[in-house]
Amino acid sequence: MLFCQLGRAHSLREIEGGLKSCEGKLAHLGIEAPARSSLSYANGHRPWELFEKVFYGLFDIVATTAVGKKKFRFKNKLVSLDSTVIDLCLSLYDWAKYRRTKGAVTLHLVLDHDGHGASTIAAIYKDRRQIELFFKALKQNLKIKTFVGTSANAVKTQMWTAVISMLLLRDLQLSSCFGWSLANLVALLRMNLFTHRDLMVWLDKPFVTPPDPQDNPQATLAFA
């Protein structure tokens, strides 16, 4: 599903075909491209909560290395809640009742503040704005407006893999000294998903020609 997000695959068939076309490189990872039927089964039966746990586990790891502004400290917890509506076809997603003749799901994101105070209200609302920008970036750069499955489990799985992808992309963006915009990083990373490069070197110098492997050939065996 991460390939679906980063490779912008439009269907399970495209995920299967895209991965199979790179199967020679997948072999080095010790995996094989899954069949479309296997992807369909997983979409319907693998609990979406698994991806939720992966996201929060990854977030805890990334948060320890993130560098940002000093947070406000408050006696009581303060959170900002925002949401975005993703339209769905009611005839296909009959479980997603939104209005009488319309289907949709709502994606919520809570921003946890560490405190509050009169002098920091403006900053709090500025933080809330980050949620809106997050939703905008999610819709513009990842696959979250159309879905490769129609069940509730499949839709939630795709949403969680989208925010997992966004977390990874944001971490890569902050780790690089190149000065990537998120849109450019997503676009160029998509073109190099299975390119054999040192990722961190590429992030810092994406347009520098990599060294020729033949310049440092492996030692040859001497036969008597």
Q: Work out whether the CA dihedral 156, 159, 163, 164 comes out positive or negative.
A: positive
The per-residue pLDDT for 103 is 56
The mean per-residue pLDDT over the stretch 107-117 comes to 55
pLDDT (tens digit, 9 = 90+) per residue, 61-100? 888 876 554 444 444 454 555 566 665 554 555 555 555 5
Rounded to the nearest integer, the mean pLDDT of the chain is 76
Strands 97-99 and 102-113, sheet pairing: antiparallel
The per-residue pLDDT for 113 is 46
pLDDT (tens digit, 9 = 90+) per residue, 165-196? 999 998 999 889 998 999 999 999 988 888 88
- What whole-number distance in Å separates Cα of residue 167 and Cα of residue 171? 6
- What whole-number distance in Å separates Cα of residue 130 and Cα of residue 124? 10
Question: Residue ranges per domain, the chain?
Answer: 49-205
The per-residue pLDDT for 125 is 63
Six-digit token string for 3: 């390939």
Closest CA to 153 of 29, 2, 51, 7: 51
The per-residue pLDDT for 51 is 92
- What whole-number distance in Å separates Cα of residue 86 and Cα of residue 50? 22
Q: Is the pLDDT of residue 204 over 90?
A: yes
pTM (2 d.p.)? 0.71
